[in-house]
Amino acid sequence: MSTQILFDKLSYIDRLKAAGVDDSVARAHADGLDQAFREELATKIELNRVEASLKTEIAELKHDVAEVATKNEHSTGALRLEIKAMIADAVTDITKEIHSTAYKALGAIIAIFGTFTAIAHFWK
């Protein structure tokens, strides 16, 4: 919805000429204004409607962004818990492996010590 402004070219030309503007300049200026006024112009009411519509769209976008941020926050929290659990499992596995290796090494040391003791006993 737009509006056209009613413009009296002749009256405008007369006013310009009365103010001392040359006839050709007054006519050119009046033609320019007439052309500009014939273009579709938005009214204040239309601008207010567009502004209200844009404000509504901006509010909806803000809501959407907040919703996405909340979902990401929840996903990040769940992912953080999953990673912590994986790290705890890995620490447990590594600890078990270290203990197992330590026991094997201790067993090997005892076996070597026993072998040396047996060898030393027979060499006497």
pLDDT on residue 3: 58
DSSP-assigned states of every residue in 34-94? HHHHHS-B--HHHHHHHHHHHHHHHHHHHHHHHHHHHHHHHHHHHHHHHHHHHHHHHHHHH
- Tokens 């094997």 belong to residue: 104
Cα radius of gyration (the chain):
46
pLDDT tens-place string over residues 44-97? 888 899 999 999 999 999 999 999 988 888 888 888 889 999 999 999 999 999
Is 0.95 surpassed by the pTM of this model?
no
